């Protein structure tokens, strides 16, 4: 293993930490009822989105699920806009109408935030189709959990993308559970990457607790996709450290299993490696933590200062016509 470029390594660490610390604060805010609805945390899985999105260009597109705070942040959505969204205020990236599960930010290529499992895949295929038709060298990265693999929309989308050679990168975040359902209880074939063979799509598994491994795989895949190599598929093997959502009593898995996975916390792994390679010391780490903390603080302050949309505008954005706030 050759040493990581120190600056880049620290950058990756900071990116993951931004996601982690933001979400830890979200969890607190949830218990204070500042954030409501469903809240799905990405804690433990940060290396997956970080490694992939690091390889994307600003104009590239991301389609994600309800567990997408990290994806939006890493793609460029300001943390302020994300927190404001969870507060349900006008300054949120979706104007307070979407909430935690529906972060949108077209300026940064963030196309949701789709809370129907599997529902984002056809949309990602369509974005890629538009790019192909328009001759744009854009890549659409579509994130989804391994639970989505059982859905018909997964299957149909995989086939369309492969049949039409579309520039999509399918990123399956295999964290072994769909809510309480372990992979082996939902798939007759548990080797997710192998499923891509049924569509003649290049696919391979990646240790997604190792952000560097993810980045390496993503680099290869993104390049291939961008250069007309058709859709690619990454199985990002990861683990969710926390409950599925804030309501989940986690009856379906062992504490010991969680403990074992926590030993491979992607942030700890990278921190250790950087320290081992002499690229990070206590002061460096403290600097990162401090920057991140102040970004989180600022985001919370921003959200706290947000303004609710006037109730009179309830009917806005149902259709595009300037309806003056009325309901069509």
Partner 1 sequence: MSTTTYREAMRDALAAALRDDDRVFLMGEDVGAYGGCFGVSLGLFEEFGPERIRDTPLSEAAFVGAGIGAALGGMRPIVEIMTVNFSLLALDQIMNNAATLLHMSGGQCNVPIVIRMTTGAGRQLAAQHSHSLEGWYAHIPGLRIVTPATVDDARWMLQTALDDPDPVLLFEHGALYGAEGELTDDLGPVDLDRAAVRRSGTDVSLITYGGTLPTVLAAAEELAGRGIDAEVVDLRTLRPLDDEAILGSVARTHRAVVVDEGWRSGSISAEISARITEGVFYELDAPVGRVCSAEVPMPYARHLEIAALPSVDGILQAVEELGLRG
Q: Is 175 in the site for Mg ion (CB under 5 A)?
A: yes
Query: Closest CB to partner 1 among 9 and 92?
Result: 92
201 binds, among ligand TPP, its own copies, partner 1, none (CB under 5 to 8 A by kind): its own copies
**By CB under 6 A, is residue 175 in contact with ligand TPP?**
yes
Name the binder of 113 from partner 1, Mg ion, its own copies, none, CB < 5-8 A by kind.
partner 1
Site for its own copies in 113-152 (CB under 8 A): 150-152
**81 lies in the site for ligand TPP, by CB under 6 A:** no
H, E, C per residue of the chain:
CCCCCHHHHHHHHHHHHHHHHHHHHHHHHHHCCCCCCCCCCCCCCHHHHHHHHCCCCCCCEEEEECCCHHHHHHHCCCHHHHHHHHHCCCCCCCCCCCCCCCCEEHHHCEEEEECCCCCHHHHHHHHHHHHHHHCCCCCEEEEEEHHHHHCHHHHHHHHHHHHCCCCEEEEEEECCEECCEEHHHCCCCCCHHHHHHHHCCCEEEEECCCHHHHHHHHHHHHHHHHCCCCCEEEEEECCCCCCCCCCCCCCCCCHHHHHHHHCCCHHHHHHHHHHHCCCCCHHHHHHHHHHHHHHHHHHHHHHHCCCCCCHHHCCCCCCCCCCCCCCC
Smallest separation, CB 221 to its own copies (Å): 17
> Total residues at the site for ligand TPP (CB under 6 A)?
14
Integer Cα distance of 241 and 253 in angstroms: 11
CB nearer its own copies, residue 19 or residue 196: 196
Site for its own copies in 199-238 (CB under 8 A): 199-201
CB of 67 to ligand TPP, least distance (A): 5
Of 72 and 274, nearer to ligand TPP (C-beta) is 72
Closer by beta carbon to Mg ion, 49 or else 178: 178
Q: Binding string, 48-67, against ligand TPP, x = CB under 6 A?
A: -------------------x
Min dist CB 40 to Mg ion, Å, is: 10
Binding residues vs Mg ion (CB under 5 A): 145-147, 175, 178
Binding residues vs its own copies (CB under 8 A): 150-156, 159, 162-163, 185-189, 194-195, 197-201
Binding residues vs ligand TPP (CB under 6 A): 67, 115-117, 145-148, 173, 175, 177-179, 244
């Amino acid at each position: 293993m050759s040493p990581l470029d120190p600056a880049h390594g620290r950058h990756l660490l900071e990116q993951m930490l931004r996601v982690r610390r933001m979400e830890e604060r979200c969890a607190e805010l949830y218990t204070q009822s500042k954030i409501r609805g469903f809240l799905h945390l990405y804690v433990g899985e940060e290396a997956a989105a970080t490694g992939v999105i690091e390889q994307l260009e600003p104009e590239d597109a991301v389609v994600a699920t309800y567990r997408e705070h990290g994806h939006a942040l890493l793609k460029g959505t300001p943390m302020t806009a994300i927190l404001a969204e969870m507060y349900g205020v006008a300054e949120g990236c979706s104007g307070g109408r979407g909430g935690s599960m529906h972060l949108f930010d077209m300026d940064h290529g963030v196309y949701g935030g789709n809370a129907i499992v599997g529902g984002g895949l056809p949309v990602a295929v369509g974005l890629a189709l538009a790019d192909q038709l328009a001759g744009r060298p854009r890549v659409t990265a579509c994130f989804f959990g391994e639970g989505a693999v059982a859905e018909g929309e997964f299957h149909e989308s995989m086939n369309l993308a492969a049949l039409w050679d579309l520039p999509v990168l399918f990123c399956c975040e295999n964290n072994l559970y769909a809510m309480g359902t372990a992979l082996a209880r939902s798939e007759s074939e548990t080797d997710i990457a192998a499923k891509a063979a049924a569509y003649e799509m290049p696919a391979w598994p990646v240790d997604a607790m190792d952000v560097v491994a993810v980045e390496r795989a993503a680099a290869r895949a993104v390049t291939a996709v961008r250069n007309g190599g058709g859709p690619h598929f990454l199985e990002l093997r990861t683990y969710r450290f926390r409950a599925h959502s804030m309501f989940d009593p986690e009856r379906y898995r062992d504490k010991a299993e969680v403990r074992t996975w926590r030993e491979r916390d992607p942030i700890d792994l990278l921190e250790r490696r950087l320290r081992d390679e002499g690229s990070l010391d206590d002061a460096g780490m403290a600097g990162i933590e401090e920057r991140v903390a102040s970004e989180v603080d600022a985001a919370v302050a921003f959200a706290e200062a947000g303004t609710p949309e006037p109730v009179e505008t309830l009917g806005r954005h149902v259709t595009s016509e300037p309806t003056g706030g009325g309901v069509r």
